Every structure is written in structure tokens, then in C-alpha cells.
A and B are shown apart, each in its own frame.
Chain A
């Protein structure tokens, strides 16, 4: 005979507004096997948990049902409370009368009836629950960091400095991300390269960090503490050990007119190239799509000139397997291509550029050595119009959210321009100025007051070229919606920040969720901002949402702490809700007949073979056995087993049937 306790939560008014909680508790108290029942305003609060613990001790309860919110929210809370009161935590279940009942139905007797049924079902289940012990698994103290922008770099260095191994995988030939393209950075105007490149070098030289550039993650298996990751190292057509990075090959390559991605198309590069002079690693790769040898079968100039004979035309991609205990996603963001705004003429007029292109123009190491010269004819523009919110906050054509960084970098651009072209006139068309952040508002004021930037509140409707000028037509909403027309020499579009290309595929490969805009989703927007819904996988930087450098770095350090905390354990505790193949006394041993169908369907390779031997050591039966470390409790094998030899702890066939019967026997 069971002695079950039922605790009905009001969840403030979330449940009690539509469900008569008192009645649910009273009726449940009359169920067979229920020893105690009560209702309370907030079961998860300290008094609520104390009530639960006291009741367990006082009434010698051997099972608990908490009727409240989703188990995803508070199952661990109540199971811990049970454990503290001496009850095995797996004898506690939650009945979800909030998401499954009070939130989706109006206040009525029927709603209360449904809540009663949900509780009854759980009571029947708990009667069949068994005490279980959690499983301990070892932790591989290596972290995989995917993406080598400032966020990835910060996370990798923080983790490595805690004494743990880090493997960093970067898609491009160099780490550095967008920050390496920036000229100077708000709100302090310190040089981006000067603060970033030393950290890039630190990554390359850190004894705890292994760096794979020009590489991508192919697959991720396993689970928290024990991931198995396959990384594809794309062929660089180069023996990196022999290459000294002298750069001779890059000067001799006959392909010279390939648009330079790092310079955002404002310059050219050869087919064998180092993305930028401060690249890490500072060794070239051959871009096979544009290499004469790979296109025509002839050339090999680089091979001929290479003093150390490091070029390898026949080199193939390499797959490396990485065992790691945690993964940090730091794959960053991208900017919306401005050609979705045909009326702004991007792509049609050379002097309509985007913000990243302006960064390159303003950068001392850029195509103009930091002189602001317009792309069409190299002239110094005397009037520049900056268009903020190009695509942001625009549900009709762009994205509905605010890209957050562009107000600030537009102010910075106007400032940089004015510092370099003293007689120049910068205009900024904006919707609102969003400058929330330490020293941010002050920075924008400086752009307006000291650097005399003309801020025009309104949107730009169209831009067209006339007599060598760009005519920018817009509206000034602070001047009674007066139309304005500016004859500019150059226009810079602050294009919306969007999720990186391929983020959706990566999310699927790594098994994390993503939002409607394909940014990776955090586990909780407030309380778990760097965690994902997949245990052991964390987020850093702008892969989660547009972020500036301070925010990206803060998130990266946050993710690093989570990884370090995980690695501070020798063993990880895992839920014992896994599959088990039954065992019986000889001569039956098990109802498993050894067909191993389960082995072929298990997605986690968790089914092993166990040989049963007689006294003489001869094998008399071969039975399936579940590896506790690998099994994820998905239940695929249970559905397939012909002899019903497999069950899932916590969700046995018996338990599920008794839940169904509880409903049917109503």
C-alpha cells in the first residue's frame, strides 16, 4: 500500500485563476494510496518546499506528486527537496496543470476536472516508480570553441588559463572575426587591431590551445562531458610545418584580381593568400576556386618559387576527431547584404557602401591606408550621408529587431570621417539614437557637438546618382516631416546585423535550438543567457544576437566560467532515465533473444553485447546490454524490441499503462 503525498500549486494566479486548486487537493486526497494532500500559493518557494519536506517526514510518504508547472521548469527543484527529506528523488513526479491545463483553458469546472485527472494519472504512475540512483560519468576536460572572433578568442583564453585544454575551430584561414576588420572602436576609439592582434597571437601560442583554421565541424555525437566531434580541416594546399610565412608565393601568383573578402571587395588578392598582414596563423592558403592550376591544370608558380617546397597541390581535406566535454559556440554574425534595398542603389553606385566597407576605408591597414577616399574615383568625399537602420526595425522589408550596434558605429564613423577630413560634412539619417551603455551617450554627443555631425531624424526614401553626386532624398521628421535632399559624395549604409550564413545547419549539426532569425537560442533569456537547451553547449558573442565587443567579451567570459565549473568535477551526474535490458534467474537469464535489432537502431551506439558463460567458461547466451554512459533514454530500442526485453527506467511500459488505465477507469 502506497503512502503518496499530493501537492497542488497555485503558481500565484497562473493556475488558481482557472483551476480550483483547493478542490483538486481535496479530491486527490481521497484517491487510493494518497496519504496526504495540500495546496499552496508557491510550491517552489522556500515555505512551499519546507511544507513538502515536512510532510514527507511526518507522514512517512513513499511517493510525491507535485501538481504545478512543466517538469522542464521545476522537476529538479522538487526532486532535490525530496532527496533532502530522505526520499529517493525518482519517487517524485510532476503533474503539469499549468501549461497543459490552466493556461490553455478558461476557468470552469471542466478545467478543474482535467487538473484532477492529470493528478490521478501521476499518482498511478508514482505507485510504480522505483528508487533510482543517478549515474556517474567521467568528464573529458577539453573544450571545443567553434569560431575564432573576439568572443571565441576570449572564451578560449579564459578556459585555457584555467588549465583546461581547448580546441578552437575557425572556418576562415585566420582567426579574428569581424573585429579584425574594424578601424577604431567605440566608445573609446582605440585601434581594433592593437587590442585584438596580441590576443590572437596568444591563442596561437597558448600551450593549452590547439588551433584549427580553415576548418569546420562536421558532426557532433555524445553528450555533456563526453562529446565526440569530427572536424574537417580543409586542405590549405600547404605543408604548414615547412612554410615559414615568407609570402613570396603571394607576390608571384598570376591571379591578382580576386575580390578581397577581408577588404569587403575594396581591394584584390591573389589565389594563394594570407587574408590580412596580421593574420593568425600568418601562412597562406590556396583558394582552389580561383587558382589557375586547379582551373586549368597548369601554373604551379607558387610551388616553383617556394624556398621551402611547402606547397602541396595534392593535399586532401583531413578529418580530425576531437573528444571534448563542453562546446562553446562563437560563430558570430553577418550583415544583411544591402542589395535588398534597390532604392539605395548599393551595387549600382560604387560610392554607396556598407559600414564594414567604411571600416576598411578608415583602417590604417586598409586599401586606402586610412584615408577616406571614395571607391569610384579615389576622391576625398566632402559630404557623406550615413543611413542608420538600413534594414533594421523594418518588418516590411528587412528584420523587425534593432541591430543594436549600428547607432554606435555610425556615430563612430561620422567622427572618424571628421577627424580625417576636417572640412567634410557628415549627415546621419536615424530613427532613434540607441546609445544605452557605459559612455555611449556621451560618445554620440561628441559626434554631434564636437564633430558637428548633422543628425537628421527621418528615413531615406531613395538615393540616385546625378551629375556625379549621390542625391539622397529623405524626410526630416523633427522639421514637420519636411522632405530633405542632400547631394552627397558618398553614402554609408548601416546594414542590419543578421545571423551568420550556415548558422541553421550548424545548429542542427551541434543539436542546439535557434530562434526565428536563425540566431542560436539561449536556455533562458534572463537567467541562462550563455547556456543552450543542450547540456554542455554554451554561447558566446554575436552568434546569439547582434552584440558589440564589450557584450561579446562578457558573454564569452560567462560561457568560459560555465565550462570551468563543469570541468571542476571529476564525475558528472546523469539522470538514470535510461534503457535497461531485463535480467532473470538462470536458466532464462533474460527475455532478450539476442537478435540485436536494438543495436542497429540505437542513435547513440549504446547497445553492447554481453556473453553469458556456463561454469566451463562456454558462451551459452549472448544478450543485449545498455552502456549507461552512452544511453540517452530516447526509447527507440524499446519500441523495436520484439520480446519486450527492454524498458526505460522512469518510463516503463507498466508505468505508462497504469497512467492510461487511470484515465480509462475514470
Chain B
């Protein structure tokens, strides 16, 4: 099975372990990820704040290239890239004039027919069915699934999961044998791109997230976005300074969690690349009784 793969910049840099774990996981399930040839930057936050046409053209070119390769699905593990591609597809789909203008800018044929999948949608579509039978090492830990903003918003366009109380990652973690805990900061802002310009803000926002997960006795925070990961993981010294605590809880990508469960080793999954060292707590885990067990539902918001 061949599926288009758009890595974006982060997966080639700071989030190499994300790509490594996604690729390794795909291999386990016999899925071939085809990197879109000659892909470009999605524009990220910069483009749509500065130049509308540029912000439309960059993602459109990526999708056009995928179409040219005959790829019907593109998996976009970075939540920000996923958000940009989906929004552009939506916007061009609704405006034929704009679409033809963008086509002439990128000088490629663009139909808007590819399906853009975030990492969870990708797993749900191609892996979930076969996941449970492949689990050899249940991820037997308390996990706080953190969704952030770009994966679920704007709901009207992405129409993915319940916007204020998403569940999809919790479901996956449960299937991998983990205990997805109930906590309050699933969709709070981590500070995102302020990481460099206002590190203090990121320390505060990400700090509150870390603190709640820690107070609720999570062993790991699970993410699906390189930006969230870098803020929670790389900015840990600043976070701990802000909190006046020493939280050592590791932050894992959902692909790493599933990878571990299906028996992939730490190196293959890039666990060694995290800033906050990935240490697996001794079992049995913290007093199970006072951990809020949650009822996991897959029910979608009817917005």
C-alpha cells in the first residue's frame, strides 16, 4: 500500500524521531510512505500572516505534486502542516476563481482531490483495525493525551474529533494497552511559536499543562505535534523554573507509543533524541486508586 507522506521542515530537523517512529510504525503494518518529491515549506505561521497568495500557493503546490504522483492520501504528521494543507484545500474548494489563480501561480494542475490525513486519521484509517492483534508489549502507563490547537481547530473545517474534549488519541492509547487519564489541559495552548520570542510565555503556558498532567499522576504526555513536543520537552528547564518543580515526565509522540506497543525498540523509535530523558517508571505504577479512570468514547461531536 502506497501513501503520500509530507514531512514538512520539522520532521527533517528537530522532530526527526517523529518521522522515524511514523516510518517504523508504517513498516510494521506493510504501509509504504512515499515522500512527495520536491516538496516545499507549507508556509507555517509566517506565510498566512504576511501574504495571502503565498499562504495558499505553498500548500497547494504540495498537494498538486502529490496529485501528479497519483497519490490519493497524504499523511501529514505535523499538526501545523496538516492544518495549513486542510485549510487551503477547503478554501480553494470553495472558490473556483481563487483556485485557478493559485494554479497559475504554482504552474501546476491542482484539483484538490487528495485526502489530507493527520497522524491519528492515518492510524485510524490504516492501522487501528490491526493494532490490537499486533500489540506485544502493552504500553502499561498512565498517559495524558495532549492535542493542542491545530489538530482540532477550526472544527467547522477540519471536522475532526470533539473540539473541546478530543478523544481519538485517548482511544489509541487505550488500544495500545495504556491508561489514558482524564485531565484538564488537553487543548490548552502550549505557547507554540512564541518559543523563541517569548520563552517566558511558553514556560508559563506549557508549565500549566505539565503541572496538571503531573498532578494527575501521568507517567507520560502524549502528543501529535512537533511544536507541542518541542515546547513541552525542550523547554523543560524553563518550565521547571517557572513551576519551581522538577518534573521529569517524558513527552512521547503517539507514533512512539504505538511503536513501543507493537514491540519496536527505543532506538528505532528515536526515543534517545528527546531532551527530557525517556525513563520508564517502575511498575506497578502510582497508586491506581486515585487516578481518575476515564470512560473512553469514540463518539464525535455533532457540531
Which A residues form the contact surface with B (CB < 8 A)?
Answer: 340-343, 348, 396-397, 462, 464-466, 471
Chain B residues near A471: list those with CB within 8 A. Answer: 184
- Given known contacts A342-B165, A462-B164, A396 and B303 CB-to-CB distance under 8 angstroms: yes
Residue of A nearest to B216 (CB): A466
- Given known contacts A342-B164, A342-B165, A466-B215, A397 and B184 CB-to-CB distance under 8 angstroms: no
0 or 1 for each of B243-255: is its CB under 8 Å from A? (1 = yes): 0000000000000
Contact A341 B164, beta carbon cutoff 8 Å: yes
The 10 closest A-B pairs by CB, nearest first: A464-B184, A342-B165, A343-B164, A397-B303, A342-B164, A343-B165, A342-B162, A396-B303, A396-B156, A462-B184
Residue of B nearest to A398 (CB): B303
Q: Is B302 an interface residue (CB 8 A)?
A: yes
Interchain CA distance A465-B212 in the complex, whole Å: 11
B99: shortest Cβ distance to chain A, in Å? 26
A461: shortest Cβ distance to chain B, in Å? 8
19 A-B residue pairings within 8 Å (CB atoms): A340-B301, A340-B302, A341-B164, A342-B162, A342-B164, A342-B165, A342-B301, A348-B182, A396-B155, A396-B156, A397-B301, A397-B303, A462-B164, A462-B184, A464-B183, A464-B184, A465-B184, A466-B212, A466-B215
Interchain CA distance A341-B301 in the complex, whole Å: 9
Interchain CA distance A342-B161 in the complex, whole Å: 12
Interchain CA distance A172-B166 in the complex, whole Å: 37
Chain B residues near A396: list those with CB within 8 A. Answer: 155-156, 303
Chain A residues near B184: list those with CB within 8 A. Answer: 462, 464-466, 471
Interchain CA distance A465-B215 in the complex, whole Å: 12
Chain A residues near B155: list those with CB within 8 A. Answer: 396
A472: shortest Cβ distance to chain B, in Å? 11
Chain A residues near B162: list those with CB within 8 A. Answer: 342
Interchain CA distance A343-B186 in the complex, whole Å: 10
0 or 1 for each of B133-172: is its CB under 8 Å from A? (1 = yes): 0000000000000000000000110000010110000000
B167: shortest Cβ distance to chain A, in Å? 9
Interchain CA distance A343-B303 in the complex, whole Å: 14
Interchain CA distance A464-B213 in the complex, whole Å: 13
Q: Beyond the given A341-B164, A396-B155, A462-B164, please list 7 additional residue pairs across the A-B interface where CB-CB is below 8 A.
A: A342-B162, A342-B301, A343-B164, A343-B165, A348-B182, A464-B184, A465-B184
0 or 1 for each of B63-93: is its CB under 8 Å from A? (1 = yes): 0000000000000000000000000000000
B245: shortest Cβ distance to chain A, in Å? 16
B288: shortest Cβ distance to chain A, in Å? 19
Residue of A nearest to B215 (CB): A466
Chain B residues near A462: list those with CB within 8 A. Answer: 164, 184
Interchain CA distance A342-B182 in the complex, whole Å: 12
Interchain CA distance A396-B157 in the complex, whole Å: 12
B289: shortest Cβ distance to chain A, in Å? 16
B189: shortest Cβ distance to chain A, in Å? 11
Chain B residues near A342: list those with CB within 8 A. Answer: 162, 164-165, 301
A316: shortest Cβ distance to chain B, in Å? 38
Interchain CA distance A397-B163 in the complex, whole Å: 10
Chain A residues near B183: list those with CB within 8 A. Answer: 464
Chain B residues near A397: list those with CB within 8 A. Answer: 301, 303
Residue of A nearest to B166 (CB): A342
B215: shortest Cβ distance to chain A, in Å? 7
Interchain CA distance A280-B301 in the complex, whole Å: 40
Interchain CA distance A602-B195 in the complex, whole Å: 76
Chain A residues near B215: list those with CB within 8 A. Answer: 466
Interchain CA distance A341-B303 in the complex, whole Å: 10
Chain A residues near B303: list those with CB within 8 A. Answer: 396-397
Chain B residues near A464: list those with CB within 8 A. Answer: 183-184
0 or 1 for each of B206-235: is its CB under 8 Å from A? (1 = yes): 000000100100000000000000000000
Residue of B nearest to A463 (CB): B184
Interchain CA distance A341-B215 in the complex, whole Å: 24
B:181-198 near A, CB below 8 Å: 182-184
A625: shortest Cβ distance to chain B, in Å? 54
B:248-269 near A, CB below 8 Å: none
B:38-86 near A, CB below 8 Å: none
Most buried by A among B156, B165, B182, B183: B165
A311: shortest Cβ distance to chain B, in Å? 39
Residue of A nearest to B154 (CB): A396
Residue of A nearest to B155 (CB): A396
Interchain CA distance A341-B302 in the complex, whole Å: 11
Interchain CA distance A647-B81 in the complex, whole Å: 69
Chain A residues near B165: list those with CB within 8 A. Answer: 342-343
Interchain CA distance A343-B164 in the complex, whole Å: 6
Chain A residues near B301: list those with CB within 8 A. Answer: 340, 342, 397
Residue of A nearest to B292 (CB): A465
Interchain CA distance A292-B183 in the complex, whole Å: 40
Chain A residues near B164: list those with CB within 8 A. Answer: 341-343, 462
A351: shortest Cβ distance to chain B, in Å? 15
A99: shortest Cβ distance to chain B, in Å? 31
Chain B residues near A343: list those with CB within 8 A. Answer: 164-165
Chain A residues near B156: list those with CB within 8 A. Answer: 396
0 or 1 for each of B174-186: is its CB under 8 Å from A? (1 = yes): 0000000011100
Interchain CA distance A302-B279 in the complex, whole Å: 63
Chain A residues near B182: list those with CB within 8 A. Answer: 348
A345: shortest Cβ distance to chain B, in Å? 9
